Structure 1
Amino acid sequence: MMSLHLSDVLTRFLPDYQQHYAMNWQQQAACKHILQCRTLALGQQLWQCDNCQQQQVVYCSCRDRHCPRCQGQRTRDWIEAQAANLLQVKYFHLVFTLPHELNVISQYAPEKLYKSLFSAVWQTLSKFALQHRKSTGELGMTAVLHTWGQTLTQHIHLHCLIPGGMLSKAERWQVIDKGYLFPVKALSTVFRAKMLQQLRDEKLSIPDKDALLTTPWTVFSKACLCKPQTVLRYLGRYTRKGVLHESRLQRISAEGVSFSYRDYRDDNKRKAMTLSGPEFIRRYLSHVLPKGFMRIRHYGLLANRCRKRKLTIIRQQEAQRKPKDEATATERETPCWRCSHCQVGSLHLASVIAHRPEGNPDG
């Protein structure tokens, strides 16, 4: 069975979608990149086997963060870079979810809404860290914004990975031994207050304010991660995960687009859903982020400005040495793959061929 791609959906249904919906320039750019990805429009690379000398042509990718075909290598590269920042402690995984009443703000002020979410979550965790009964100090946090649910609807939430320890003002590392970071019900109450205050500071209109003040907000604590390899897998899964993995696409027909999803309310069962082509595209494009918006952010002792120094202090106190491959930076090798022709040699990049539009002379 031929694999399906998001570009197939756009090729078939985007003209119809454009007749019914307006697109901002970020959405237009994302569609253009996805349609051009791994086609002649972006040029091609020539790879050659070092054994049989067989040559293969590979089309270049668009590298757009909204393109599902461009996340694999970027995920591996990012995980490799993050390995140097891991601490030999357990990690807490918390998920802060916005009530769906606030989804409407993402339609006219997405950057302010998402920025407020990051700030409110970090302020909430910092408040608890400074008021901890046994020890106080600074936490570290890697936060990742997701705006989608399994059926591509708006489900705005923040995944937070937090090392199990605090760095005191005297820069003494204090490990958190208990099985949870902070009580989630208490976190939920403070998170609600911080988020609503952030929205007021941004001068955003808050819909259904009375309901938001009386309804419990969701803060979910997942199981602790105890091994560095597990933490890396989680980082890859949650940081570079796109809106829709193309393996979930099942069928594209006149009726629309069929795709699989997991129903978390029904014992995590895998089900299928069919949407009209324009509706599928509308849902997908609703998750296109503002240009330049950072959906992965580091806070506290993991913040970019102080991470290297503070991690060094922590590792010294833990009497742990860095692995040899972390001690010095090494130049990345060009990736290579096994030759599909002889199954013995490896493919190596021979040249990059830029695409020249038809009608343009060479030279």
Structure 2
Amino acid sequence: MHPALEVADVFRTYGPAWRQTQQTHLSLGQLKVMSAIEQCRTATLGGHVLRCSACAHQDIAYNSCRNRHCPKCQANAAKRWLEARQVDLLPVDYYHVVFTLPAPISAIAYYNKAVIYGLLFEVAAETLRTIAADPKHLGAQIGATLVLHTWDSAMTHHPHVHGIVPGGGLSLDGERWIACKPGFFLPVRVLSRLFRRRFLEELSKAHTAGQLQCLGEYAPLADPAAFAKWLVPLRQCEWVVYAKRPFAGPAAVLAYLARYTHRVAMANSRLVAMDEQGITFRWKDYRAQGRTRHKTMTLSPDEFMRRFLLHVLPSGFHRIRHYGLLANAGRRDYLRRVRAWLQVASVTTETQGAHAEAGNPSTPPTFVCPDCGAAMIIVELLARKPLIRAPPQPEGAA
């Protein structure tokens, strides 16, 4: 059942006028996201006519835009991604580690998304691997999956990465599995200090190489001396890195990943109302305690759209990445060796066995009749409307 209100409704209602007033401030990527969300699952993208094989009920299903920022398109994308990741799970504790950038760096990150988000990924992964390899801590080579989020619950700009890390790793000589202490992964204070030092080192290198844009109120930071002075308090403040308690088994890891990997800045389920007051949505105030954390916020349509579009990622930027022993190049060999040491069968083998015992049941139907629950079949294809490639030519133009 579809939510009563969707982000698409906001863009369709207020987007055209807002685009006109903000046309010099919106990037091509943001305009594409707006257009994709507005057209998603409408006649513009085409679709197909469905007929129930049992009761002859007919329906129309319009195509999805498949844009990674669209709230309606993430459920299927997450499902496909999780099916691929399920075979990678190990029967060990998994830990959730979060690396957050301080507010001053978040501010310049908005104008330097590819550079600073990329550093956030690389330095967070390097920090985890370096501390884990230290014999004083774990003394092992580890793997990690990192997921980038750039928002908080109120959709303000808040870049951070969530790391999902197996509780152990391969010994430095590559001959055995080394498990973490029960309930403890790595010391967060040590992680925080190394993360801070390495990130600021890499940020300074990027500035020296001319890779950072310093715009608006941050234009003075283009001067190397001013930038170095700006970094001083960032070397002294605490950077937020924390590790949560281990997940309650592989199933809990998958449940978490299902919620986080393909999340967007605003889910349709959080929207409450769109009226003369503005756009009202649910949010969580982490500074409050208990039930008082759960609140509602109302923003003007313009501010709602502005905040949503803050989080459009650069074209081609990967927001889910695998590092260390979980990197694509050596993941299969690593998982095979670890499962041998832990004396467990691979998830793939177990899954194949389960399908064999069940008689290899057929794949469930893609479309199900809302009246009787039987499979629906496609009886007609609906062509998508042609895209407008350029403004219409005035009369008499050549």
TM-score (ref. length: structure 2): 0.84
Match of 2:156 in 1: 153
Match of 1:11?
12
Q: Which residue of 1 aligns with 2:41?
A: 38
Partner in structure 2 of residue 322 of structure 1: 346
Match of 2:111 among 84, 108, 111: 108
Corresponding residue to 2:197 among 177, 193, 196: 193
> How is 1:109-128 mapped onto 2 (pairs within 5 angstroms)?
109-128=112-131
- After TM superposition, where is structure 1 displaced by more than 3 Å over at least 4 residues in a row? 204-208, 323-335, 348-352
Alignment RMSD (CA, Å): 2.4
Matching residue's letter, 1:355: R
Match of 1:235 in 2: 257
How far 1:209 sits from its partner (Å)?
1.4
1:187 is paired with a residue whose SS is helix
| TM-score, normalised by the number of residues in structure 1 | 0.92
Distance in 1 (alpha carbons) for counterparts of 2:369 and 2:15: 37
In 1, Cα distance between equivalents of 2:283 and 2:26: 26
The one-letter code of the counterpart of 2:268 is E
Distance 1:299 1:332, change over 3 A: farther
CA distance 1:344–1:124, change in 2 (3 Å): closer
Residues 264-304 of structure 1, C-alpha deviation per residue, up to 9 Å, x if partnerless? 11125211111111111111001000011000000011000
Instruction: Note the C-alpha offset of 1:135.
Output: 4.5
Q: Which residue of 1 aligns with 2:368?
A: 338
Deviations 1:74-123, CA, capped at 9 Å, x for gaps:
11111111100000000010111100111222232100000000111111
Q: Which residue of 2 aligns with 1:261?
A: 283
Aligned equivalents of 1:201, 1:335: Cα separation in 2: 53
Which shifted more, 171-180 or 65-74? 171-180
Deviates more, 1:322-331 or 1:260-269: 322-331
Query: Hey, what's the Cα distance between the residues in 1 that align with 2:163 and 2:282?
Result: 26
- Counterparts of 1:113 and 1:333, CA distance in 2: 43
1:252 is matched with which residue?
274
SS in 2 for 1:145: strand
Distance 1:196-1:87 versus aligned 2 partners, 3 A rule: same
Q: What CA distance in whole angstroms lies between the structure 2 residues aligned with 1:187 and 1:69?
A: 36
**Would the alpha carbon gap of residues 108 and 344 (structure 1) be closer, same or farther in structure 2, given more than 3 Å must change?**
closer
Aligned length: 357
Structure 2: distance between partners of 1:332 and 1:301? 35
Partner of 1:361: none
Q: C-alpha deviations, 1:298-329, integer Å up to 9, x for none?
A: 00110001001110011111111124355599
Once the two structures are superposed, the pairs formed by residues 34-113 of structure 1 within 5 Å of their partners are 34-113=37-116
CA distance in 2, matches of 1:332, 1:315: 30
SS at match of 2:11: helix
Hey, what's the Cα distance between the residues in 2 that align with 1:41 and 1:280?
25
Aligned to 2:382: 353
Q: Could you tell me how far apart the structure 2 residues matched to 1:218 and 1:336 are?
A: 43
Contact 1:16/1:278 (<8 A) preserved: no
Q: Is the 8 A contact 2:3 2:268 kept in 1?
A: no
Max Rg structure: 2
Q: Answer yes or no: is the 8 Å Cα contact 1:95–1:221 preserved in 2.
A: yes
Q: Distance in 1 between matches of 2:312 and 2:340?
A: 42
How far apart are 1:350 and its partner, in Å?
Answer: 4.3
Equivalent residue, structure 1, for 2:298: 274
Counterpart of 2:281, as a letter, is F
Show CA shifts across 1:205-243 (max 9, x none).
Answer: 558312211110001111211311101001111111111
Displacement, 1:344?
4.3
Secondary structure of the corresponding residue to residue 81 of structure 2: helix
Between 1:32-41 and 1:214-223, the stretch displaced more is: 214-223
Q: What SS class does the counterpart of residue 229 from structure 1 fall into?
A: helix
| CA gap 1:356/1:96 in 2 versus in 1, 3 angstroms | closer
| SS across alignment from 1:179 | coil
Unaligned 5+ runs, structure 1: 359-363
Contact 1:101 1:208 in 2 (8 A): no
Paired position in structure 2 for 1:22: 25
Separation (CA, whole Å) in 1 of partners of 2:69 and 2:259: 15
For 1:284 and 1:17, locate their aligned partners in 2 and report how far apart those are by CA, in whole Å.
13
Letter of the aligned partner of 2:169 in structure 1? Answer: M
Counterpart of 1:140?
A: 143
Give 2:346's aligned amino acid.
Answer: K
Distance (whole Å) between structure 2 residues aligned to residue 96 and residue 290 of structure 1: 21
TM-aligned CA distance change 1:322 to 1:278, over 3 Å: same
Determine which of 171, 177, 182 is the counterpart of 2:181. 177
